[in-house]
Amino acid sequence: MAQVGNTDISISTKTVCDKDRVDFWFEHVSQLLIRVECSSKQSEGIDATLVHKDFALFRASEIAANQHAVVRTAHSIRDDGRDSVFVCLMKKGRGFTFQGVECVTHVPGDLVLYDTASPYGHGFPGDMEMTVLDVPRAVFERHVGPWHYRGLIKFDHGAGTAAWGAQSIHRLLTGMSETDVRPREQVACQVLELLRTLLRINDGDLSTTRSTLSSLWRAKLHIERNLPDDTLDCDSISRAVGLSARQLSRAFEVEGISITRYIWALRLERCRADLSDRGLRHMAISEIAFRWGFNDSAHFSRSYRNRFAETPSATRGMLD
């Protein structure tokens, strides 16, 4: 394995001889991603690379390979304690995924989601590139919602509201350079938020237009980037994203929450994350509150207790 940057890991079958490539590939995929098996022996071996990236909330594996097929059997699941929802983003080539009685094909721009606790398989008839997001079930349930689907879910790259969400996720992940200053956890939160919206549309819980979702997403990105600013409000957001205050309020009706409540809820979540971070124990609770846009300690404490049913001190005390 080769280190790429501080936390990324890269592997390539080009580092071993042809006859050892298949075993080398599946051994390292099992270590870095999940246990799967080769569905058929390839006489010439497999030509493949994998770059494994940590996004704090989930891990992303960028895979490029020639023709191959993999399966995750009931035996693999029993021997592998990892429990995740996978999100596959096709970038190049064509492939298919099956789980249970369902089978879908996918091309660049498509998203396919499935539960790794049930057997599944992938097949690729030629050269391919795909990013696989490994989202631990606990993280998925906290940020997206419970996985209650019997089979896999596909979001097509074509026109439509869901397609906009799929395209936005692709842009978020493929648009990051090695020198990108955005914390990866921030990008992960945005990806999971988009997945939550896509699944709400899929489930029929959300009916809206592509234009409304685009406006809502532009506003959320601005809020995310400027969350520590205590002057952040509806007027400043409206000016930044080029919408009237009325248009902005209508966009947030999709969330069933006002803009102001959305901002404060997000700030409280960031404060809770910092209070639970051992690396930030040196910071006073009030300092963390001010860091995320609260300018009144008493108001912060009341809001925090109302939101999480415990005081900020109790949250920090869990680190002891």
Among candidates 66, 73, 89, which has minimal Cα distance to 30? 73
CA 129, distance to chain mean position in Å, is 18
Rounded to 10 deg, the angle between the 245-252 and 259-275 helix axes is: 60
Q: Using 50, 70 and 90 to split pLDDT, how confident is the model at 181?
A: very low
> What is the DSSP-derived secondary structure letter of residue 85?
E
Angle, in degrees to the nearest 10, between helices 245-252 and 234-241: 100
Both tokens assigned to 274: 């910092």
How much of the chain exceeds pLDDT 70, in percent? 94
Higher pLDDT, 44 or 142: 142
Judged on CB neighbours under 10 Å (0-12, 13-18, 19+), 121 is middle
| pLDDT score at 6 | 56
C-alpha to C-alpha distance for 151 and 41, rounded to whole angstroms? 27
Residues 130, 268: Cα–Cα separation, whole Å: 35
- Local structure of residue 170 (DSSP, 8 states): H
Determine the Cα–Cα distance for residues 111 and 130; give it in Å rounded to an integer. 10
pLDDT at 208: 77
Of 59 and 213, the one with more pLDDT:
59
Instruction: Walk me through the domains of the chain, giving residue ranges and CATH numbers.
Output: 2-158 (2.60.120.10)
Return the higher-pLDDT residue of 84 and 167: 84
* 15 pLDDT higher than 70: yes
- What is the band of 235 on the pLDDT scale with cuts at 50, 70, 90? very high
CA distance 13 to 50: 9
Is the pLDDT reported for residue 139 higher than 90? Answer: yes
CA distance 258 to 198: 21
Look at residue 43 and tell me whether its pLDDT is greater than 50.
no
Q: Hey, what's the torsion of the CAs at 66, 71, 72, 74, to 10 degrees?
A: -170
Q: Which of 301, 294, 299 is closest to 315 using CA atoms?
A: 301
Helices then strands (H, E): number in the chain? 12, 13
Residue 71 has pLDDT above 50, yes or no: yes
Contacts of residue 159, defined as CB under 8 A and 6 or more positions apart, other chains included, come to none
Report the pLDDT averaged over residues 110-137.
Answer: 95
Q: Which residues on neighbouring strands pair with residue 102, listed in sequence order? A: 99
